Structure 1
Amino acid sequence: MVVGRSTLESLRWLYAPQKVAIIFAFRTILASYIALLVALWMELDSPRWAMMAVWIVAQNTSRGEVLSKAYWIIFGNITGVIVSLCIVAAFPQQPFLFELSIAFWVAFCCWVSSCTRNFRALGMVMAGYSCAIILFSSVNDPNETFMMAMSRGSYFILGILAENFTARIFDLNLHHHAHKKLNDDLQTAVEESIKSVTKMLDGNDWAVAQSDRLLSSIINLNNNIEFRERELKGTGHRGDHARAVLASVSGLLVKASGFSILMKQIQNQNLNFHHIIPLTKIYLTELLLALRSGEPLEYTLKALNSLRWECRQRIADSFYKTLGEKQFSNEEFATKLLNDRILYQSLREILAELEVALRELEKSRDITLHDHFKFDTKHAFDFKRAWRNAIRAFVAISVGCIAWEVTGWDRGPLFLAFLCMGCARFCIFENATLACMGWFKGACLAILVGGFFNFLILPTISNFEILFVILIVPLAVGGLAMCVPKYAPIASTYAFFFCYILGFSNDGRVDELSYFNNSLAVLMSGVFALASYRLFFPYRARRLRRQMREKLLQGMHHLAETATLPLAREWISFVSESLVVLMRQLNEDRNTTLIQTYRHGSMAVMLIGIHIIRLRSMVDFDIMSKDINDVLRVVLRRISVFDGRRAKYAPHARTVMIAHRAIAKFRQRELYEKNLAVRIEISAAISSLIIIAYALDKNASFLRIKNRHLLAK
């Protein structure tokens, strides 16, 4: 009985689909029928490609994503057409160079797509396999390459236009909904960050652990802003203001995490800092109420500035504070005053970051604002992954070409075309092996269902009206399954190949021999692609996690020694993206200890990097005297070389020890420094060193890349 209930629950997407899934399936089926009818009316040579193009561009997400996907598919298609004509013109009588150039081009497209983001990657993928489809479809008659290029290119454009036409019917008042969705997402991000900061002020350790989840959602939202901009085209620079909001929210969370560390380390060694915590919490509560009610932020920002000035005033007062009743020694009292200044300054930085986020949020809300504001963040490229994808594609296609040359199979060009398509598409997935398996399962399912219709249904049908009614069932199942993330890779492949297996045309239906040959070509392309991704650089979650940890550690070393410093928001973006990848590799139900280790470790690397940038700025701009800069250079040099291969007395442990010595030295120096500006900078340096030392010490197992014990969990 339990098994039956779980099975029914897993099939809920089929017998009780959501409204969004029903609309998506209906409009995609309608678009595919329109594309097919137009292709049949124009008497094109292979109308099924128009129907297949609809399922390629179909996307059960925002309208902006569909528009972006369609744009880049058209761009990739045109690029593929141009390259196909160049290749066939360059090697008309050299089959070896002809096949080698196709393999090289597809591998190059895989390399570029692995270094790009969003649907730009899909555009390069399209450039690779559209070129291969055109060339292998006309390999028996190179004189027909131009007509084949125009034909295949027309099919994809026709399919995209049909899909966009039907989608427009369901997307009324697109600008208004896009603007509302963007504002709601930004406000949610700001509200959740304020809640996290409030919990951190209470000393809630779990809030620090949870902030990385919010950072992950911010990264995903930041990627989606590009699609919102397409929906809001011609309505100002709200996308840039939205990116600025998210960057400030990320900075707010990171600074709040550092503040919570300072609270832990020196909470019992300060004088009166605890008095401002209730005021800050009251303000944050009132701010949340103001955001939820939609009130203008003018008065809220004034209250925020008052709180910031209160922190600044107390910092200034602490420099001239005198002792009334001396219960402590002068040195102990001065130490506590210094700790107060450190905490006040850290809180003031949090409030300053919050003010930036609120001002940018207000600008992104203003629909009448047409300024020239620009905001962008650089993204790091994973060249190692790009080279692996390129090598896998090149080897798989080359081996496939050799197999075709040896066997002389008449469906060899079709097999190679789909092999190039699969190898190109897999490179845009993080887990290419899983995507490849989904592709293979979807192809097998399409062959079985297509065979059922070819042998039992199509022979009994004499007109397209009845056929379209009958095909609603298999296509609707595919459309509904595409709305389920678990089944989306299988469903998209199934819908694409199902349209191909049926072989729509004006001349008649596909005969049995053609069905088996076409099905075998589809099946073998999946087998070859799956084998290539299993044999060459196979996916292993443990190895990927290790590589991401090495990447984070190398980035931290690079910060401490590089000549040019990145912006703080660029470092936060770099670590956050790596954190998103790491979290996708972990299963919370299997090992929660490992998950917490990776979460805290990634946040530690982010904090260390931010404060390395701060210390480097102090050293590079000669803000303080030479002796202080020399101590900071020693700490930075130690951070740039440690790897933590051994346990207690490793370079990692020595780095922590040197940081603590620097903190003690700076505390003594601050007591006797006469220059007020230098004292302020010394307190800032102490604050950064406290956070760096704590983060290094508490996350040693994550930072010791050579430690196999953690990886074996």
Structure 2
Amino acid sequence: MTLGFDRARLPFTLRTALASSLALLVATLLHLDSPQWAAMTVWLVAQPTRGLLLEKSLYRAAGSVVGSAVGVGLVLLTHGHVGALVVGLVLWVGLCAGVGNVLRHFRAYGVLLAGYTAALVVLVDLPHPDHIVGIAGERVLAVLIGVAVSALVSGLLVPNANEDDIRARLRQITSDTLRWSAAVLASALKVQDERSGLTEQRRLLSELAILEEMLDPQTAGKINSRISLRTVRALIAALLSLIAATLSAAGRVRRGARHDQAVLQTLATDLSVIADRLEDADVAQSLVRLRVALAGSGGAVHVALEALLQAVEALVSRKDTPARHARFALVFHRDWVGARAAAVRSMVAVGAVGALWWLTGWPYAPFMMIGTAVMSSLFSSFDDPLKILRFVLIGSSAGAASAAICHLWLIPLASSNVQAALLVVPFLLLTGVAMAHPRTTAPSLDYAMAFLLLVVPVVPVHGTPVQIVSGSVAAVAGIAVAMLAFRFVLPVDSAQRLRTLMEMTINELEALAGQDSFPHPTRWRARLYHRILRLVRRLDLVQGQGVAQPVTAIGGGVATLPVGEAILRLRHLSVRPDLPRTVRRRVEVGLKRLSMLSSRPLAAAVALEKAAASLMLAEGGATLDSEVLRDGAEALREHQSFFHLAQR
């Protein structure tokens, strides 16, 4: 660092500031009434890699077009009637906030943007509803100018994301997981306590969660990416399955289940050797040895290793994973609970300000409503929006003050729009400098957004000093309203999102046991894999907040796999026509207990154990079915506190 500045970040922020200034000047030369929108776009699409810049620019353009069209439609349909406009905006912003919270990455950004863009189009120039089509067209044109300038200035200079980093991390995490699996199996065969491996298991799951999260950003904007996302996610799912299968195999050995110990010992040795060769980047020999290991293995570990082999081969050959291994995929977790809360919260916040406007006719309420619409929807997908909005309020307040200074004392000095734009440029350049300093990074972008939203670099200046200051204060007040909504209307933070994720996972297990219709096992596993990854990632964010002990929560998340497999096995047994009556009764009781899993996890474990014992008696010994049921019972006993979370 130099003078406290981040030397690695400073070129990026200064380049963004220059691109923003250039976009402002281009839009001014094209005689747009609100050229600052082009400058805003540059800041909003700025990204450290070319692919991210391209993809975010496309979604910003699409969101702007859709939002502007909806804004125009609302004005034309309501004929500018305040009450009808408020109702329309409340419904649209709420809808976009809800949908945006079940999508991922820049798709979510595009939908959220479409929501508040309609508010911006409708409310900024409300006194001129007859010009709404032209106003919306100018907004879209300004966005396209900002995208184009950003692509020319930044896109040619920023690097592409390095996919080799993903490949290296994949090789390392695969090697580490195989080595961990070998160690756990070896410990079980020696009847040792493998709890020393819990820390490593926790680290492996955390690394898998981080790796999955970085896939979209690393491959964004690349049509011909060398990495197949489906293949990488199949590999991640196979590694998760291997972790769960290893724990189950070790548990069976410890409780005295019949196993060919020589086969397991050989498998443990093979996995250790394969891990060493992968770490040395000897992928070809690793694959050969893995094929040999598969010939002597069996059970769930064999299935996971086979999928692992297929995924690694696909990555090496740069081909997609075979369709027959679709079982090992990731179906994205959708936070429908959070989406409903986001929709309701945005509607309440925007509706409250809209009602104030409608009932009082306060002329600055539209500015307040804009701030509320933007903040209540855009930040609804953040893990801890209230914490971030504190910095937003600081930055936006400073930006609003700077905009008022420009309007009152600087822009009146200009004799043309170009001169007015040039007077604004120093503020943008200073923002670029501030973004590279650790103390001012957090509020800098919000400073730029509030400044550009409120400043209008055209002459003559529109509005009296009282009107200018009042508009700035109202916009900042809108942010405060959004903060109140996040605090009191369906509050949300990282801890709450983690609890919701746990509850959704456990509730789905109960539905799997209790409902006549249930998801296909392949799809259920694929979604559960991703939920475990999200659980791990959220736990990383809330450590130290007293939500749950890391080992307890992570272990419980992994335990949902054997519990779910036990439920699926019970459902399979329940439709067997040759099942003895006594076993069928135990199976039905087991399903009933598991349908109330969160209230009495120990009772569900006992029911599984009795069903397994009854099945063993009927079959004349342990079978794969009975061992799967015992795996589920053991997981429930070891992680009772986790499965009680839904009741809390």
Equivalent residue, structure 1, for 2:595: 640
1:34-113 mapped onto 2 (5 Å cutoff): 34-60=22-48, 62-92=49-79, 94-113=81-100
Decide whether the 8 Å contact of 2:75 with 2:129 is kept in 1: yes
SS of the equivalent of 2:431 reads helix
**CA shift at 1:261, angstroms?**
2.7
1:455-470 mapped onto 2 (5 Å cutoff): 468=425
The worse-fitting range, judged by mean Cα deviation, of 471-480 and 596-605 is 471-480
1:482-631 mapped onto 2 (5 Å cutoff): 490-505=443-458, 513=466, 515-539=468-492, 544-562=497-515, 563-564=517-518, 565-567=520-522, 569-577=525-533, 579-580=535-536, 582-584=538-540, 586-588=542-544, 591=546, 594-617=549-572, 619-620=574-575, 628=583, 630-631=585-586
SS of the equivalent of 1:504 reads coil
The worse-fitting range, judged by mean Cα deviation, of 615-624 and 545-554 is 615-624
SS of the equivalent of 1:115 reads coil
Provide, for residues 157-191 of structure 1, a one-character-per-residue CA deviation record: whole Å limited to 9, x for no partner: 2222222223322245x4xx544233234323323
The counterpart of 1:194, out of the listed 178, 195, 201, is: 178
Give distance in 1, aligned partners of 2:577 and 2:199: 36
Decide whether the 8 Å contact of 2:505 with 2:528 is kept in 1: no
Decide whether the 8 Å contact of 1:247 with 1:569 is kept in 2: no
Decide whether the 8 Å contact of 2:583 with 2:614 is kept in 1: no
Provide, for residues 627-651 of structure 1, a one-character-per-residue CA deviation record: whole Å limited to 9, x for no partner: 655543432332123443xxxxxx4
Change (3 A) 1:544 1:354: same
The counterpart of 1:15, out of the listed 4, 8, 16, is: 4
Give distance in 2, aligned partners of 1:55 and 1:351: 50
Equivalent residue, structure 1, for 2:639: 699
SS of the equivalent of 2:156 reads helix
Structure 1-normalised TM-score?
0.79
Decide whether the 8 Å contact of 2:67 with 2:117 is kept in 1: yes
The worse-fitting range, judged by mean Cα deviation, of 635-644 and 614-623 is 614-623
Provide, for residues 408-431 of structure 1, a one-character-per-residue CA deviation record: whole Å limited to 9, x for no partner: 443332332232212221222233
The counterpart of 1:657, out of the listed 606, 612, 636, is: 606
Give distance in 2, aligned partners of 1:595 and 1:447: 43
Decide whether the 8 Å contact of 1:13 with 1:480 is kept in 2: no
Query: What is the RMSD computed on CA atoms of the aligned residues?
Result: 3.5
Decide whether the 8 Å contact of 1:571 with 1:610 is kept in 2: no
The counterpart of 1:418, out of the listed 356, 362, 371, is: 371
Structure 2-normalised TM-score?
0.86
Structure 1, unaligned runs of 5 or more: 1-11, 312-344, 645-650, 673-681, 709-713
**CA shift at 1:697, angstroms?**
1.2
Equivalent residue, structure 2, for 1:356: 307
Equivalent residue, structure 1, for 2:190: none
Q: Identity across aligned pairs (percent)?
A: 19
Decide whether the 8 Å contact of 2:330 with 2:527 is kept in 1: no
Decide whether the 8 Å contact of 1:103 with 1:398 is kept in 2: yes
Equivalent residue, structure 1, for 2:233: 243
Equivalent residue, structure 2, for 1:475: 432
Change (3 A) 1:143 1:514: same
Change (3 A) 1:80 1:155: same
User: How many residues are aligned here?
Assistant: 632
Give distance in 2, aligned partners of 1:595 and 1:189: 20
Decide whether the 8 Å contact of 2:370 with 2:475 is kept in 1: no
Letter in 2 for 1:195: R
Decide whether the 8 Å contact of 1:237 with 1:370 is kept in 2: no
1:663-702 mapped onto 2 (5 Å cutoff): 663-671=612-620, 683-702=623-642
**CA shift at 1:684, angstroms?**
1.3
SS of the equivalent of 2:389 reads helix
Decide whether the 8 Å contact of 2:331 with 2:526 is kept in 1: yes
Decide whether the 8 Å contact of 1:80 with 1:126 is kept in 2: yes
Equivalent residue, structure 2, for 1:330: none
SS of the equivalent of 1:45 reads coil
Give distance in 2, aligned partners of 1:623 and 1:294: 52
1:262-273 mapped onto 2 (5 Å cutoff): 262-266=252-256, 273=261
Decide whether the 8 Å contact of 1:443 with 1:497 is kept in 2: yes
Give distance in 1, aligned partners of 2:434 and 2:493: 32
Decide whether the 8 Å contact of 1:559 with 1:612 is kept in 2: yes
SS of the equivalent of 1:170 reads coil
Structure 2, unaligned runs of 5 or more: 188-193
Equivalent residue, structure 1, for 2:191: none
Equivalent residue, structure 1, for 2:215: 225
Letter in 2 for 1:441: I
Change (3 A) 1:425 1:206: farther
1:377-416 mapped onto 2 (5 Å cutoff): 377-416=330-369
